[in-house]
Amino acid sequence: MSVLSQVWCRSLLLCSLLCSALIQLHARPANMSALREKNANTKDDNEILPPDHLNGLKMEMDGHLNKDFHQEVFLGKEMEEFDEDSEPRRNRKKLIDIFTKVDFNEDKSVSAKEMQRWIMEKTEEHFQEAVRENKLSFRAVDPDRDGHVTWDEYRVKFLASKGLNEKEVAEKIKNNEDLKVDEETQEVLESLKDRWFQADSPPADQLLNEEEFLSFLHPEHSRGMLKYMVKEIVRDLDQDGDTKLTLSEFISLPVGTVENQQAQDIDDDWVRERKKEFLEVIDADGNAIVTMEELEEYMDPMNEYNALNEAKQMIAVADENQNQNLELEEILKYSEYFTGSKLMDYARNVHEEF
């Protein structure tokens, strides 16, 4: 083959590759948009149910202590950026950045007041994230866009998310026909219905607007729904029916049997952690009985007094020099407590990076 022919062939191949790349480049945004739209629709369908876990609350809906509470109120929306697989030096830099933000007066130490202020800011971040997600969820269950959702509209969407045909369910509900759902789904529906009507602000009209729907999904956003949440927790833990909790009731083990030593250790941790929380935090007047009012104050994420107590507890964990403040070296050393991620060689070049 002549030199001229070789050059011509190479030029033709290069043009072909370039055209192919340009076609893919122009086609990609449309495909990505379609993918994002598909994912968004799926997310809407999945988020019409109240979440099992509420960020920034000390206790779960089922009465369990929130194991990630410290990280949630310290990291806020940045919590997902800290994980065990992240590069330690990268996580250390993030933690140093956070320390400089918490250190409001820039004296290179964090006081309880500064930590309290930071906790309140991070809790507000979780609140705003819930508000944003609620807008998408409300849009998913308000098909006629009238700004209100009936229980039947929600029930149709819920059952459709469980695999039932949406049109058939809507028709059966309209005609008051039996939906023929399994026992577990029926129990969930009854619980959701009770919660739905609790979220319906007076005067009750059996319709939820966007704000009321937010309370339905996130009871921490409404004082009335927070009371309802506390009532449900007390009902599950209260063994003698006096609507109060004793220490023995609060630390009672979940239903189940201990089958081996590992399970026994887990149960021992359960009792130890709950006993400490009951005696040192929840039982405000120290009379060994927790009322619904005390539990409500404990559960309120925007309670500034609770935030200050939490700040003091967090500082006490890492305050090795016992000066009631946190220095950068201390917070890096106890990074696993604050972020859930353990930093290796935490002290290396700390002062230089700071």
Each residue's pLDDT tens digit, 92-116: 888 999 999 999 999 999 999 999 9
* Tokens (6 digits) for 99: 């320390």
- Region for residue 82 given its phi and psi (left: phi exceeds 0; alpha: psi -120 to 50; beta: otherwise): beta
What are the φ/ψ torsions at residue 150 (nearest 5 degrees)?
A: -85, 160
Residue pointed to by tokens 């998310």: 161
Residues 130, 24 contacting (CB under 8 angstroms)? no
Encoding tokens for residue 261? 């030593």
Question: What percent of the chain lies above the pLDDT cut of 70?
Answer: 77
Eight-state DSSP code of residue 51: P
Integer Cα distance of 164 and 66 in angstroms: 34
pLDDT (mean) for 249-258: 66
Judged by DSSP in three states, 37 sits in: helix
Nearest in space to 351 (alpha carbons), one of 334, 318, 333, 328: 328
pLDDT at 170: 93
DSSP assigned state of 255: S
pLDDT in tens, 8-57: 444 444 444 444 443 343 333 333 233 333 333 334 445 688 888 888 89
